[in-house]
Amino acid sequence: ARGPERSARHQAAGLARQHAAGAAILLYHRVTSLESDVHGLSIPPREFRAHMAHLRDRYRPMPLDELVAAASAGHVPAGAIAVTFDDGYVDNDAGASPILLEFGVPATFFVTTDRIGGDYEFWWDTLERILLAPGASVPFELRIDLPAGSQTFETRTIEQRLAVHSTIYHAIVGCPGAARDRVIDALMSWSGTTALVSPANRRMNAEEIGALAAREGHTIGAHSVRHLMLPRQPLAVQREEIEESRRALETLLARRVSAFAYPFGAYSADTIDAVRAASFEIALTCDDTPVAPHADPLRLPRLEVTPSHAARFSDWLATRLGV
């Protein structure tokens, strides 16, 4: 009975696609289960599998470049969906990729290139590991030099550390890389935390990125060198971050890299000009809307999938696309 059941399912899926409205680029970050996820970046594998099954059965998953080409031509296929990942966490390879392959869903992975030859942990994960990880033990008071000046915080309780985490995160998120790193280094010294990278939180290395790019339906895009908030940096730094990330990935992969995702989704007119000058054809924001016909290919919106959406993914996506 499996043959007729499968045929009926595909017929129903085709009918659903004919009535699907709108199109979207989805943004994911991680596919894993975490004890601490203060930024809401991770979707558990079981829920991600359900998402991909739903996309296969009810929508039109397609490669990012095909969706963008259709939008630029003024015709976005109803129910068209492109899946993207930002940051290049190791679970993109170990957790997301097998599920994407299982359901035949193409995806583009946007990766940073700083220290790509070895293990690397993003600064926000180090900050969370120091202050919020289960079982974390730190001194009860923190005195630290932030960009706006020296501050002292009580850090005895988890509530206090949550507040300190938020304050420090927002104080340095837009800083130049050196200033940001000084704060994280000071926190590590204060807490006695080692410089070791958390295996669960590390970014993919060059070998893993190359292996991911070789799989069917998987494409690599650039996400800057150091994941700086580009509009807050001098124009020369913006250009370097954008151009060098493309060069590093093209050298690694021996192929053209034509898509870029703005770190933190942040951009300005100068940032867009720098992306254009670096010969990128596609650039993605975090502007939270579906994709419209004739959308600017260097300022494309994405719908971010967060843990709050995960359990009600089908209803959430249908509402956003007007199905």
User: What percent of the chain is modeled with pLDDT above 70?
Assistant: 93
Q: What is the mean pLDDT of residues 243-250?
A: 98
Say yes or no to pLDDT of 7 above 80: no
173 and 291 in one domain? no
Instruction: Return the closest-CA partner of residue 138 out of 113, 122, 160, 169.
Output: 160
- Identify the burial level of 87 via C-beta atoms within 10 angstroms of its C-beta, where 0-12 means exposed, 13-18 middle and 19 or more buried: buried
**Residue 6 — pLDDT band, cuts 50, 70, 90?**
very low
Regarding whether 313 and 213 lie in a shared domain, the answer is yes
Q: pLDDT tens for residues 107-139? A: 999 999 999 988 889 999 999 999 998 877 899
Measured distance CA(33)–CA(295) in Å, rounded: 35
CATH number for the domain spanning 113: value is 3.20.20.370
d(CA 213, CA 203): 15
Query: Is 198 within a domain?
Result: no
pLDDT at 227: 98
The full DSSP string for 36-52 is: --TT--EE-HHHHHHHH
Together in a domain, 186 and 207: no
**For residues 13 and 301, which has the higher predicted lDDT (pLDDT)?**
301
Question: 226 and 135 in one domain?
Answer: no
Banded model confidence at residue 19, pLDDT cuts 50, 70, 90: very low
Domain annotation covers residue 109 = yes
> Does the pLDDT value for residue 1 go beyond 90?
no
Q: Is residue 87 part of a domain?
A: yes
Q: Which of 132, 161, 191 is the last residue of a domain?
A: 191
C-alpha dihedral, 248 to 302 to 72 to 258, nearest 10°: 10
Beta-strand pair 149-154/141-146: antiparallel
pLDDT of residue 17: 41
The rounded mean pLDDT for the chain is: 92
* 236 compared with 11, residue with greater pLDDT: 236
Same domain flag for 138 and 219: no
How far is it, in rounded angstroms, from Cα 275 to Cα 278?
A: 5
- Residue 161: half-sphere exposure toward Cβ, Cα within 13 Å: 21
Containing domain of residue 228, as a range?
A: 2-118+203-321
Q: Return the H-helix or E-strand segment holding 145.
A: strand 141-146
| Residues 164, 297 share a domain | no
The answer, yes or no, to whether residue 192 has pLDDT greater than 80, is yes
Does pLDDT of 14 surpass 50?
A: no
- For residue 51, CA distances in Å to 21, 56, 124, 125 come to 18, 9, 27, 26
Are residues 212 and 184 in contact, defined by beta-carbon separation less than 8 angstroms? no
**For residue 180, what pLDDT band results from cuts at 50, 70 and 90?**
very high
- What pLDDT, on a 0 to 100 scale, did the predictor assign at position 198? 84
pLDDT tier, 35 (very low <50, low <70, confident <90, very high otherwise): confident
Can you give the pLDDT at residue 322? 83
Compute the distance between CA of residue 125 and CA of residue 201 in angstroms, rounded to an integer: 7
Mean pLDDT score, 39-52 = 96
Quick one: pLDDT at residue 9?
A: 36
197, part of any domain: no
Structure tokens at 66: 């095909």
Count of beta carbons in the 10 Å neighbourhood of residue 141: 12
- pLDDT of 21: 59
Pair (69, 112) in one structural domain:
yes
pLDDT given for residue 3 in this prediction: 38
Q: For 267-322, what is each residue's pLDDT tens digit?
A: 999 999 999 999 999 999 999 999 999 999 999 999 999 998 877 999 999 999 98
Nearest to residue 59, comparing CAs of 33, 35, 26, 34? 26
Number of domains in the chain: 2
Residue 83 pairs with which residues in a beta bridge?
26, 107
**The last residue of a domain, from among 154, 169, 191:** 191
Alpha carbon distances (Å) from 55 to 23, 58, 236 = 12, 5, 41
pLDDT of 311 reads 79
Give, as one character, the DSSP assignment of residue 85. E
- Bridge partners (DSSP) of residue 109 are 85, 220
